[in-house]
Amino acid sequence: MVSREHKRAGLHEKLQLLRSITNSHAMNKASIIVDASKYIEELKQKVERLNQDITAAQTSNNRNPLPMQVTVETLEKGFLINIFSEKSCPGLLVSVLEAFQDLGLNVLEARVSCTDSFRFQAVGGENEEQSEYIDAQVVKQAVLQAIKNWSESSDEQE
């Protein structure tokens, strides 16, 4: 009798711990487990995105000797995109803007400097006619791909 109650209390404690870790608001065992499995799937997706970022960064570093910083932040309506390179990058602006066009992003505001270094800061908003949701990760991947394509084409021209 005591061991059954002890096991039940232990199980209840473990479920409450699982509930708190996964930020679940469920009250019954099955719902807590469903929430936990959803949480695990979300974590797997985050790990996958991070691995893609690492691979993209390694690929662009291997092929592109230019140190390039790319950040994409989500704003209330759109994204803040920053690209910086210590060297001038003729033609990169066109590649980046084409990537925005391919994604269906409208450039709402931009600042660009291409003289001694390359600086690009833009606020991009999603095209309202577009049905697909775009997140910051997708925008960053598109920008990194545009940089990679630009780098490969500029290497071929040299």
Sorted by where each begins, the domain ranges of the chain are 4-61, 69-156
What per-residue confidence (pLDDT) applies to 131? 57
* Residues 63/149, Cβ–Cβ less than 8 Å: no
Task: Output the pTM of the full model.
Answer: 0.55
Alpha helices in 22-128 (DSSP H): 29-63, 92-103
- The helix/strand/coil state of 121 is strand
Question: What's the whole-number mean pLDDT along residues 9-37?
Answer: 87
pLDDT tens by residue, 26-39:
888 888 888 888 88
Burial 88-119 (b: 16+ CB within 10 A, else e): ebeebbebbbebbeebebeeeeeeeeeeeebe
What per-residue confidence (pLDDT) applies to 158? 54
pLDDT tens by residue, 113-158:
888 888 999 998 876 666 567 788 888 999 999 988 888 877 666 5
pLDDT above 80 (res 65): no
Question: What's the whole-number mean pLDDT along residues 101-117?
Answer: 88
By DSSP bridging, strand 105-113 and strand 118-126 are antiparallel
| Number of neighbours of residue 32 by Cβ within 10 angstroms | 19
What per-residue confidence (pLDDT) applies to 105? 87
CATH superfamily of 69-156: ACT domain (3.30.70.260)
| Residue (of 63, 78, 56) closest to 142 by Cα position | 56
Q: Is 75 left (phi over 0), alpha (psi -120 to 50) or beta?
A: beta
Element housing 80 (H / E): strand 78-85
Confidence of residue 66 (pLDDT cuts 50, 70, 90): low
Average pLDDT of the chain to the nearest whole number: 83
What per-residue confidence (pLDDT) applies to 111? 92
What per-residue confidence (pLDDT) applies to 119? 92
What per-residue confidence (pLDDT) applies to 157? 62
